[in-house]
Structure 1
């Protein structure tokens, strides 16, 4: 939760606990320190965050690639919901992006 809170994401602790119970959270750990986390809901990335000091080091990319590997094995596209500032990140990973119903939000799909 510290990584998610540090990224100033609006994520509810109960939603994260539920994802943990469903084994739908990917965590990047180095030397017993959590560097990033990706929370999934079925085939959707609902939240992803990387410690500020560790950004631009491929951690978020690896989390998304790991999520995509799981969903490719299940023949399901990976979906991500995100705000405008991280659109370049998802574009760089090959997501097809379209505006969501909410202003400033986007939906990306990786087949």
Structure 2
């Protein structure tokens, strides 16, 4: 498996992953992020297994969405995407549901509670 910057041909696969993960994603916004080089994909044998949609901030990037094919979850694909984003941009920030807290905790995200079921976390060094 390799992690690389998405290209325009990956747009449909990225949208399908986000949809399957029940994540809200505007197709035009994702396309713009791909064109800007702000989407990472994990690929194996030409098949997109995971995607991370990033949004630049003044102090790093915001992880807008991350999704991995259901059958491939738990195999380090999401971690590889986050690692690549952190190495590329430094500080990475995300907002997420309580149910995925273990994923972010496993990567040493510092977390704060936003509401009963939402958290914000960050990892990495400032750029």
TM-score (norm 1): 0.90
Q: Which residue of 1 aligns with 2:18?
A: 4
User: Structure 2: where are the runs of 5+ without partners?
Assistant: 1-14
- 2: CA distance, partners of 1:104 / 1:12: 23
TM-score (norm 2): 0.79
Q: Which residue of 1 aligns with 2:68?
A: 50
Q: Which residue of 2 aligns with 1:110?
A: 123
1:44-87 deviations in Å (ceiling 9; x for gaps): 10100000000000000000000000122xxxx21011111111
User: Structure 1: where are the runs of 5+ without partners?
Assistant: none
Confirm whether residue 59 of structure 1 aligns to residue 77 of structure 2: yes
Name segments (4+ residues, structure 1) moved above 4 Å: none
- 2: CA distance, partners of 1:103 / 1:19: 30
Confirm whether residue 69 of structure 1 aligns to residue 87 of structure 2: yes
Q: Considering only aligned residues, what root-mean-square deviation do their CA atoms show, in Å?
A: 1.1
